[in-house]
Amino acid sequence: MGKVFTVAVKEFLATVATKGFIFGMLFPPFIMTMMIVLMPLLMNKKAPTVYGHIAIIDQSGLVAPRIKDAFSAEKIKARKEKKIRQTMEEGTKAIGMDEKSAAKIKEQADASPMAAASSLIPETSLSVVVLPPDTPVDEARKEILKATGREQAGDGGSARLALLVIPENTLRTKELNSEGKPDFKPYQLLTAPRLDVEVQGDIRNETARAIVDSRLADAGEDPVKIRGLTEWPKADEKAVTKEGDRSSNEVAKLMIPGAFMFLLWISTFSAGQYLLTSTIEEKSSRVMEVVLSAVSPMQLMLGKILGKGAVGLLILGLYSSVGVTAMIFFAYAHLLAWQNLVYLFVFFFIAYMIIACLMASIGSAVNDINEAQSLMGPVMMILIIPMMLWMPILRNPNSMFAQVCSFVPMINPFVMVLRISGSEPIPAWQIPVSILVGLATVAFLCYAAAKIFRIGVLMYGKPPNLATLIKWVRMA
């Protein structure tokens, strides 16, 4: 066992302590973590406050007071808060959070980086200057050119950041357009080139609202009442299941199982690939027999599988902890069923052992990486099939198809990871049975791989085909 461990340590270090691994495997999660940590910090730096005024030439005489009201300090603040709330709600809805957790989120809102994200909306200190209706537009717009966009509080809002020109026919018209509706003319919005996009949008929205309200009032209607009546209704969506109603959340349904399977896939495949190349290297550099003078083929194979398995485990641990950290950081940890993480590692063991046995067999049988390609077909199938099954299984984790796939050797770890992390609970007995199927597969493949490895490592010359490999397995 000591020798197996020595081989395993060497194999682990030979892969991990290389520039390629550090840059290819460790760097991306490091960058991701840095982004998760740094992004809110960067975002907390508030956008600079915008100081200045909006000038209005209101030829209708009805809109200006409403706009002036809309840009009062209280209204600006209220709008900003509402926007933050909306962003948060959309966020929670997008990932399919239930009400209880959404409430929890709201509690944490101030501390959450989500709130920080909203600080991108700049503070504004805008005054509204109503110019006489007969002011020439050409005169009024000259003032805009004087604005630098870097005005300070002490400037007293003298900088003209925007000029609104609202003609009479924006509100009242007798002409009809081709659809038979009143053919209102557009208003003019002239802005300083450096004006913040958010502020521009705010001006646009509030002007439009003020114009529509003015039209309604002009027509003798109550704008507040009409707005209330035309409020867009919200849907309260629920998925009906035997276990009770649950809010339907498409994104969560796909994202978390997808992430689980991706983790499983990337870790087993990378580790398997490392195992294949290192075995081929030992053969092609003819160091194999030198090593076999000190250890038995079985010890060598076991050591290699364990060593590269540790590499896979490192990748899996690293990426999944980055994922979990991110979820905790963004307060989505409740979406994660912790026992699924345990299952992830159980199925990693099974999936990796399957791939590793195949890779060790192939690596031992061929002379170089090119010869390996022709034998890689079956391995690629195992890795590609789960990718193809992803959508059908996620849509319906308890379909007959998904259930059958859970017991098909070699692909079942991937299928089970998709199913257990999906939104629908699966029959409890299927998990241990699938694990048993997996373990039986592993036992058989280990037996076969040991035989192929023992013969293959010393075979040079013509690369064997699949039939030869099967013959080796049958040999005593």
Partner 1 sequence: MIGWEKIQASGGKQLTNAIEIRGLNKSFGPKLAVQNLDLTVPQGALYGFIGPNGAGKSTTIRMIMSIIFPDSGELSVLGKASAVESKDRIGYLPEERGVYRKMKVGAFLKYMARLKGLDAAEAERRTKEWLVRVGLADTYRKKCEELSKGMQQKVQFIAAVINEPELLILDEVFSGLDPENRRLMRDLIREQNDAGRTIIFSTHAMNEAEQLCDSIFMIRGGVKVLDMPMKQLWSTYDPKTVVVEPTNPADIDLAWETLPGVREAVRSEQFVDLRLGENANVATLMQGATAMAGVRKVELKRPSLEDIFIELVGGDSESVRKELRASAKPVQEVARG
104 binds partner 1 per the rule CB under 8 A:
no
CA distance 116 to 80: 13
Site for partner 1 in 51-80 (CB under 8 A): none
Is the separation of the CB atoms in 358 and 445 below 8 Å?
Answer: yes
Residue placing its CB nearer to partner 1 in the complex, 35 or 290:
290
A 10 A CB-CB count for 270 gives 21
Taking the complex as a whole, the smallest distance from the CB of residue 284 to partner 1 amounts, in Å, to: 8
Taking the complex as a whole, the smallest distance from the CB of residue 458 to partner 1 amounts, in Å, to: 5
470 binds partner 1 per the rule CB under 8 A:
no
Number of shown-chain residues binding partner 1 (CB under 8 A): 25
Taking the complex as a whole, the smallest distance from the CB of residue 307 to partner 1 amounts, in Å, to: 12
- Contact with partner 1 (CB under 8 A) among 195, 459, 468, 473: 459
Residue placing its CB nearer to partner 1 in the complex, 7 or 310:
7
Site string for partner 1, 3-42 (x = CB under 8 A): x--xx--x---x----------------------------
Taking the complex as a whole, the smallest distance from the CB of residue 468 to partner 1 amounts, in Å, to: 11
Taking the complex as a whole, the smallest distance from the CB of residue 300 to partner 1 amounts, in Å, to: 9
Taking the complex as a whole, the smallest distance from the CB of residue 259 to partner 1 amounts, in Å, to: 34
* Neighbouring residues of 404: CB distance < 8 A, sequence distance ≥ 6: none
Which range binds partner 1 by CB under 8 A, 83-91, 180-188, 377-385, 452-460? 452-460
Site string for partner 1, 269-308 (x = CB under 8 A): ------------xx--xxxxxxxxxxxxx-----------
Residue placing its CB nearer to partner 1 in the complex, 199 or 365:
365
Query: What tokens were used for 28?
Result: 């991306």
- Contact with partner 1 (CB under 8 A) among 240, 429, 461, 474: 461
Is the separation of the CB atoms in 272 and 15 below 8 Å?
Answer: no
460 binds partner 1 per the rule CB under 8 A:
yes
The residues binding partner 1 (CB under 8 A) are 2-3, 6-7, 10, 14, 281-282, 285-297, 458-461
